[in-house]
Amino acid sequence: MAMLKTRPTRPLTYQAYDRVVGKQGRVLVLLSIMTLFLLGGIGTRLGYLQIVEGDRNRQMADENRIRLIPKPPERGKILDRKGRILAGNKFSYSVFLWPLAAKKPEWPQTVRILSRVLNIPASEIEARVKQAGVNSPSLIRIAQGITPAQIVALEEHRNFLTGVEIDREAMRFYPHGETAAHIIGYIGELNEEELAARRDQGYRLGDVMGKMGVEATYEKVLRGTWGGQQVEVDGQGKVIRILGQKVARPGNDITLSVDLDLQKAAEAALGNRPGAIVAMDPRDGSILALASYPAFDPNWFARRMTQAQWEELQRRQFPFVNRALQGFPPASTFKIVTTVAGLESGKFSPDTVLMTYPALYSGGFAFHDWNRAGFGPLGFVGAMAWSSNTFFGQVARRIGPETLIEWARRFGMGSKTGIDLPGEAAGFVPDPKWKQETFGEGWYDGDSLITAIGQGALQVSPVQAAVMFAVPANGGYKVRPHLIASENPARWRQSLNLKPSTVQVLRQGLRQVVTSGTGAALNVPEVAIAGKSGTGEDPPRPHHTWFGAYAPADKPEIVVVAFAENSGGGGGSVAGPMVLKVIQTYMKIRDR
């Protein structure tokens, strides 16, 4: 058997051992130096973070555990003159998102769930969070006024919705739906441009503001002041304790001069005709009712509008246009101004009698009386009662355009009345300068004839017409229409310094319109009414119809002007019955 030979092992000498030991020592030295270096670097960094960056890091830590829960103020209520709520608030549930608490890996799933349950595009949710900032310590409202079914659906997905909360908050509510919509207006959430413009006024993301009507005019009064809580939360986003609290201050309530019952009567009288009705106290200009059709339901804007609601609005003919504030040819109602201009010019007396004709001729054109026959000799009272175009055309010829135009402007035409609603048009009063600049020609006799009977380029709003009818009703004062209840009538009116005889002629003429003229439909036994009809041409479309009146005739308390846009028919037969219904309602409710 062969023997296994082994190689003899060389004994470890001192020199070899010394070389190994020397290397180990150097390694230990290097490790020690590196350890000291690392510890020194860490210590330096810790010192820098604590001393130099301490405040900033503490703020970042606080933002991870401290949350701001903003509490919007309860918006002030809008009340009618008897204290009934026109715009109030009710509590509903809203969905809020806290981006800082949301788990980033779960974010796409969170957005998908919210989008599906709330029926909101995912891109809209993401854009909202981006606008607020992903590190925002405040809650962001995603949806308002959610349904019980949506609440249940979100609770079922609670484990996948970190950073999502459901809370109760006040939401605007309009208990009467479309009633008085053009008076009240509506609110809406600020868009990016509005938010940027109003941020220095305390507005924030998700805030709302008045967009139309009284809601917009009195935004500062109604708005209130935000409050909120500062709370500490754990890693799951649950509140541990409240660190501080600022109570939200509600907005102030506003009482309007409008009477809800009269407003409903005006809207019922107008029905589904495009147009407007204005009811006003002639003594101080306070608006008692203001109706415009088509209208809208302001509740649709208090929460996210549905597709069906949007489509319904598209079917209506300009529902957001307040026709009570827009200009239209005033037709024969303007003969009030022509009468005043003639009597105050000194060229006519209250006893003046003029022959009326089938037509007046100027520049080869015939300006017909509406009956195409004339009415024989008439004074101012009879001419008003029968609305003779040829009578008032002769008055305009003699006094000249300057006097007629001056009195139209003294009545407030061509200027905004100053009513406390946005979107008012000034109307328009044509004059020789305008005609020269617009058409390159002078003012003709025919221009005076057509203006004297409220036609041509002349434009007057129903509110301006109500101001005009208030002048004979109150004895010669131009009033400023307003919606805020007031106990100081003198503040809202200005004397036109009319002769008592001028006022008397106006009153007699307007009363005779009802007793024996074109407004006989308003001649009822329960109340004496004075007024004037108008039929305004709007070719090639059907003409407009007007009727303005006040009552009681001997001591007026209310002026009502009705305007029907492109209704056809006559002012006395179409607009007159509307006015009568409103006046009759007023007489029934005035002492309630």
User: What's the confidence (pLDDT) of residue 569?
Assistant: 93
How far is it, in rounded angstroms, from Cα 186 to Cα 167? 23
Backbone phi and psi for residue 306, each to the nearest 5 degrees, phi listed first:
-80, 165
Pairing mode, strands 208-210 and 227-233: unpaired
Cα separation, 161 vs 103, whole angstroms: 9
Closest CA relative to residue 551, chosen from 473, 475, 444, 466: 473
Cβ partners under 8 Å of residue 536, min gap 6: 328, 329, 330, 331, 454, 455, 543, 544, 545, 546
H/E stretch holding 261: helix 260-270
Residue 95 is inside which H or E element, if any?
strand 85-97
Pairing of strands 85-97, 78-79: antiparallel
Q: Contact 256/80 with Cβ under 8 angstroms?
A: yes
- Residue 204 and residue 70 in contact, taking contact as beta carbons nearer than 8 Å: yes
Give the chain's radius of gyration (CA, Å). Answer: 39
Q: Which residues are catalytic?
A: 332
- Per-residue pLDDT, 9: 44
Identify any residues that bridge with 538 across adjacent strands, giving them in sequence order: 541
Listed in sequence order, the residues at least 6 apart from 550 whose beta carbon sits closer than 8 Å to its beta carbon are 282, 469, 470, 472, 473, 510, 529, 530, 531, 556, 558, 559, 560
Q: How far is Cα of residue 423 from the mean position of the Cα atoms in its chain?
A: 9
Q: What SS3 class is residue 531?
A: strand
Q: Which CATH number fits domain 260-305+320-589: 3.60.21.10, 3.40.710.10, 3.40.50.10420, 1.20.120.330?
A: 3.40.710.10
Please give the single-letter amino acid code of residue 272.
Answer: N
For residue 94, the SS3 value is strand
Q: Are 167 and 93 spatial neighbours (Cβ–Cβ below 8 Å)?
A: yes
Q: SS3 sequence, 265-318?
A: HHHHHHCCCCEEEEEECCCCCEEEEEEEECCCCCHHHHCCCCHHHHHHHHHCCC
Residue ranges of the domains in the chain? 66-255, 260-305+320-589
Confidence at residue 24, expressed as pLDDT on a 0 to 100 scale: 58
- Residue 537's φ and ψ, nearest 5 degrees, are -75, 140
Closest CA to 351 of 340, 359, 343, 361: 343
What whole-number distance in Å separates Cα of residue 72 and Cα of residue 91? 12
pLDDT along the chain (592 residues), means of 10: 42 43 55 56 52 50 60 90 96 81 72 89 84 71 86 86 81 95 93 84 83 96 82 64 75 97 98 97 97 95 81 88 97 98 97 97 92 96 97 97 98 97 96 95 95 97 98 97 87 95 98 96 96 92 96 97 96 96 96 74
Residues in CB range of 47: below 8 A, 6 or more apart:
none
Which CATH fold would you assign to the domain 66-255? Penicillin-binding protein 2a (Domain 2) (3.90.1310)
pTM above 0.75, yes or no: yes
Q: How far apart are CA 503 and CA 499, in angstroms?
A: 7
Which residues, other chains included, contact 18 with Cβ-Cβ below 8 Å and sequence gap of 6+? none
E strands, 301-440, where?
353-355, 359-362, 365-368, 377-379
Report yes or no: 190 and 301 within 8 Å, Cβ to Cβ.
no
Is there a contact between 407 and 309 (Cβ–Cβ < 8 Å)? no
Q: What is the pLDDT of residue 142?
A: 82
CB-count exposure of residue 401 (10 Å: 0-12, 13-18, 19+): buried
Element at 534 (helix H, strand E): strand 530-538
Q: How far apart are CA 151 and CA 166, in angstroms?
A: 8
Measured CA to CA, the distance from residue 35 to residue 26 in angstroms comes to 14
Is 546 within 8 Å of 561 (Cβ atoms)?
A: yes
Pairwise CA distance, residues 424 & 261, whole Å:
25
Count of alpha carbons within 13 Å of 489, Cβ hemisphere only? 11
Spatial separation of the C-alpha atoms in residues 509 and 505, rounded to whole Å: 6
- State CA 18 to chain mean position distance: 97
